[in-house]
């Protein structure tokens, strides 16, 4: 299984889909830990925003509370800021993927966070 993580200078940046997969038990936590090795795990300001949207868009108060608690855990990780350099790197990567014949899709995790069930069997 390929995890949605990108290697940064000295660690891994987990995208919001990895955090959602872990929260909903759709990803095996032990497999993620083993794949990360001894390198630190980061999240990005973008992922925090996507997960925050999912929390605030959740209609069920109980589930929203559980999602918010999980978000606080994610927020406790080191956060990588997004800059114009990040945007430039994304543009180069997306163009290379496009030239290779694939289509770089917009990440839809902000909507998936609302629909994915948490380990309790509930969902936003």
Instruction: Kindly list the distances between the CA atom of residue 68 and the CA atoms of 47, 64, 74, 89, in Å, as whole numbers in the listed order.
Output: 14, 6, 10, 31
Whether pTM > 0.85 for this model: the answer is: no
CATH number for the domain whose boundaries are 5-115: 3.40.50.1010
Domain assignments of the chain as residue spans, ordered by start: 5-115
Q: Is the pLDDT of residue 68 over 90?
A: yes
Compute the average pLDDT of residues 81-109. 72
Task: State pLDDT tens for residues 98-124.
Answer: 787 776 554 333 333 334 444 334 444
Q: What is the pLDDT of residue 66?
A: 92
CB of 124 closer than 8 Å to CB of 58: yes
Q: What is the pLDDT of residue 105?
A: 56
Query: What is the rounded (10 degree) CA torsion for 105, 106, 109, 112?
Result: -70
Task: State pLDDT tens for residues 19-64.
Answer: 888 888 888 889 888 888 888 888 888 889 989 999 999 999 999 9
């Amino acid at each position: 299984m390929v995890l949605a993580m990108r290697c940064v200078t000295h660690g891994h940046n987990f995208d919001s889909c990895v955090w959602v997969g872990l929260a909903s038990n759709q990803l095996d936590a032990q497999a993620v830990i083993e794949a990360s090795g001894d390198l630190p795990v980061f999240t990005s300001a973008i992922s925090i925003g996507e997960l925050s949207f999912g929390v605030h868009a959740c209609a069920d108060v109980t589930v929203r509370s559980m999602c918010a608690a999980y978000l606080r855990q994610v927020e406790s990780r080191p956060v990588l800021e997004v800059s114009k350099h990040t945007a430039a790197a994304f543009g180069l990567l997306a163009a290379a993927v496009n030239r290779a014949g694939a289509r770089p899709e917009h990440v839809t995790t902000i909507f998936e966070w609302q629909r994915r069930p948490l380990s309790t069997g509930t969902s936003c």
